[in-house]
């Protein structure tokens, strides 16, 4: 039994060390999918969604939300900050929560017009809503992580860490989309 605990601990450490989300590593997928009409999975995020353009959030769509879901939460972060060759931190670009489970996506610039009931949290610039990619060097990866929850969250503009703590034990499904960006 001790060997299994060591293996689980090593896997958890590896996920944390590589920037994989601590909460998403624990959550079932639930058959959910997350896509964007603006970029393909693993593809380049267009400049219009970054600090080099209008800095608006990209459109997102999802399917397969599990029955019994009471709300959805979205976290967008960059595990490659500040330099993909020597990452030092995970930079949070967007926190959105209490998205109604009947909503099937977010329109372009959805952070400025979230669906009724949905609320923006704080990004790592200290702002509420979307802060687009603006990497100082190299091509960065941006992880869009959608969580289906069995509860609503009574929070007030949380950070990613506060949201993750509130989601613990309530995740019934998840989906992930990764895009990349490198400044011209």
Q: What pLDDT is attached to residue 25?
A: 37
Q: What pLDDT is attached to residue 30?
A: 62
pTM summary value: 0.85
Q: Among 10-14, 81-85, 171-175, where is mean pLDDT lowest?
A: 10-14
pLDDT for 98-116, tens place per residue? 999 999 999 999 999 999 9
Mind listing the domains of the chain with CATH numbers? Answer: 21-181 (3.90.280.10)
Q: Can you tell me the distance from the alpha carbon of 81 to that of 72, in angstroms, rounded to the nearest whole number? A: 26
């Amino acid at each position: 039994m001790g060997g299994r605990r060591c293996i689980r601990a090593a896997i958890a450490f590896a996920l944390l060390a590589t920037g994989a989300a601590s909460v998403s590593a624990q959550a079932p997928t639930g058959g959910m999918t997350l896509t964007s009409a603006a970029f393909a999975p693993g593809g380049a995020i267009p400049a219009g969604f970054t600090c080099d353009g209008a800095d608006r959030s990209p459109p997102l769509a999802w399917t397969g939300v599990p029955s019994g879901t009471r709300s959805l939460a979205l976290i967008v972060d960059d595990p490659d900050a500040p330099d993909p060759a020597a990452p030092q931190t995970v930079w949070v670009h967007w926190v959105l929560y209490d998205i109604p489970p009947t909503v099937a996506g977010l329109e372009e610039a959805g952070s400025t017009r979230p669906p009724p009931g949905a609320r923006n949290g704080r990004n790592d610039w200290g702002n509420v809503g979307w802060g687009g990619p603006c990497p100082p060097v190299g091509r960065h990866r941006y992880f869009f992580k959608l969580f289906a929850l069995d509860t609503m969250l009574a929070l007030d503009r949380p950070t990613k860490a506060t949201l993750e703590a509130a989601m613990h034990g309530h995740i019934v499904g998840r989906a992930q989309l990764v895009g990349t960006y490198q400044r011209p």
